Amino acid sequence: MEERLLGSEAKDDSNLKGRIWAESKKLWRIALPAMLARVSQYGMFVVTQGFIGHIGEVQLAAYALIQIIAVRFANGILLGMSSATETLCGQAFGAKQYHMMGIYLQRSWIINIATGTVLLPIFIFAGDIFKLLGEESDIASEAGYISLWFIPILYFFIFCLTIQKYLQAQLKNIIVGWLSAVAFVIHVLLSWIFVNVLNFGIPGAMSAMIIASWFIVIGEFVYIFGGWCPNTWNGFSLAAFVDLLPVLKLSISSGVMLCLELWYNAILVLVAGYMKNATSEISAFSICLNIISWEFMLCFGFLAGSSVRISNELGKGDAKTAKFSVKVAISTTASIGMFFFIMCLVFSHGIAKIFTSSEVVIASVSSLSVLLAFSVFLNGIQAVLSGVAVGAGRQTVVAYVNICCYYFIGIPVGIILAYVANMKVKGIWIGMLLGVVTQVLVLGYITYKTDWDQQVNEASARLNKWLLKPSDESIFKVNCEQDLQ
């Protein structure tokens, strides 16, 4: 009898290991290309900061302001609104409604192009905006000049982000990873030529970024229009203009969710700008945030992976597998987060030298190493929990959590510690970290208490409500005969 029980337990253990291995392979199939894409794309911003940082300290602070505040502001909106594409395409792929995925992509283009155009004045008048906010005049003026170079990057976000969501939902985002990796190499080479060899300064550094970024978008267009997505792309269609309002509502809730998260750091950088010796304080803080953000690009792969896995399984109607996917993703990212935790403690001084030659800034970055380590550890868990919300279409819930944790806890505590307790940048960072810890705990509890059977029903209702059958869709086709094939 005992031998039979032991044999049963061994079989259960083997089955569990098999399930974990199978789920891990599915997760990494999505996460790894997403990591490669995000690390490469964000790496271009970091490389540009490195080249500009060696031009001058004022230029570094100006670039930090425009990147972390204006670019993060716009990217947060567009990235968040693109996550609606992630939800809809992921669930449609799971439900085998393949023909709807191209329609959802086109709807997201319409909505995001309009949104990007609305955001355009922020980049045109960035210098004046920073001066009104009380930033130092020389930093604000230089930031206003750099911001104009970011306008082509604004429209790059619109297409790159939505196409990436569309492709990863159907497990084809490896092409985005390779395009991004090649673009990163092109960017480094062009930056060296334009800045170091030809001495073009800021115009050279920004031109290199623009060329490399649009290389990715053009490659994605060639992949989609060239016939590599035959089931999900049937050409441009007037059906994209149908049901825009409900998609817009989901996009807005998605945008708010991620914006509140990305703006959180931006507001804290803005607060740091009011301190004495603002140039070195902003530079040190921005370097640490760039390290966090670059590591978050790895974690972003798990956000994408968990989102696609959850949305696919909910679309299929498999609540049990969706729940299991959450457990595997959280365990994986926690292990990776611990590795980066140790790396930040060991190499904090050397990392700062990559971005600046100023000993004052390097010392300031080193003093933040412990807080930096805890931040990078939490990134992975935070990313997975956000990805679960996106996959289930629960962005609105996360938006409320972000408001409470970040803006009612993190920022007020950071300001009090920085200015009242005179802890300066370290106080701001402690407040920021407290907000993140609170967010992770709340989202963890919400995820733990989730009724996944109910989420399956909600996903099914959403997809059926917006479904256009191929025969119905043909009414709206611009090129009917071709698309009906």
| Residue 460, amino acid | S
Residue 21 inside a domain? The answer is no
CA gap 250, 443 in Å, rounded: 19
Residue 8 inside a domain? The answer is no
Beta bridge partners of 237: 477
Position 383 scores a pLDDT of 85
Beta bridge partners of 477: 237
> Are 418 and 424 a contacting pair, CB within 8 Å?
yes
Position 349 scores a pLDDT of 67
Highest mean pLDDT pick, 193-202, 349-358, 419-428: 193-202
Query: Is the pLDDT assigned to residue 479 strictly greater than 80?
Result: no
Residue 7 inside a domain? The answer is no
Task: Write the burial class of residue 335 (CB in 10 Å: 0-12 exposed, 13-18 middle, 19+ buried).
Answer: exposed
Range with the lowest mean pLDDT among 171-185, 363-377, 444-458? 363-377
* Local confidence band at 35 (pLDDT 50, 70, 90 cut-offs): confident
Predicted confidence (pLDDT) per residue in 43-59, tens digit: 898 889 888 887 877 88
Residue 308 inside a domain? The answer is yes
Position 9 scores a pLDDT of 43
Taking the CA atoms of residue 411, residue 412, residue 416 and residue 418 in that order, the dihedral angle to the nearest 10 degrees is: 10
CB count within 10 Å of CB 12 equals 10
Residue 17 inside a domain? The answer is no
In this prediction the pTM is 0.78
Mean pLDDT along residues 114-139: 88
| Residue 216, amino acid | I
Number of structural domains found in the chain: 1
Nearest C-alpha neighbor of 43 from the set 269, 297, 263: 297
Position 5 scores a pLDDT of 39
Query: Is the pLDDT assigned to residue 360 strictly greater than 60?
Result: yes
Rg (CA), the chain: 23
Query: Is the pLDDT assigned to residue 15 strictly greater than 90?
Result: no
Predicted confidence (pLDDT) per residue in 73-121, tens digit: 788 788 878 877 888 888 888 888 888 899 999 999 999 999 999 999 9
What is the average pLDDT score of the chain?
A: 82
CA gap 163, 72 in Å, rounded: 19
Query: Is the pLDDT assigned to residue 246 strictly greater than 70?
Result: yes
Position 185 scores a pLDDT of 95
Residue 12 inside a domain? The answer is no
Query: Is the pLDDT assigned to residue 276 strictly greater than 70?
Result: no
Position 361 scores a pLDDT of 76
Mean pLDDT along residues 317-341: 88
Question: Which residue range is the domain that position 156 belongs to?
Answer: 32-483
Position 117 scores a pLDDT of 93
Residue 25 inside a domain? The answer is no
Position 375 scores a pLDDT of 86
Position 467 scores a pLDDT of 67
> Are 454 and 318 a contacting pair, CB within 8 Å?
no
Tell the residue number behind the tokens 């996460």, with chain if given.
31
Predicted confidence (pLDDT) per residue in 372-412, tens digit: 888 888 888 888 888 888 888 787 788 888 888 888 998 89
Predicted confidence (pLDDT) per residue in 173-196, tens digit: 899 999 999 999 999 999 999 988
pLDDT over 70, % of the chain: 87
Residue 3 inside a domain? The answer is no
For the stretch 26-59, what's the b/e string if a residue is b when 16 or more beta carbons lie within 10 angstroms of its beta carbon? bbebbbbbbbbbbbbbbbbbbbbbbbbbebebbb
Query: Is the pLDDT assigned to residue 478 strictly greater than 50?
Result: no
Mean pLDDT along residues 189-208: 92
Query: Is the pLDDT assigned to residue 124 strictly greater than 60?
Result: yes
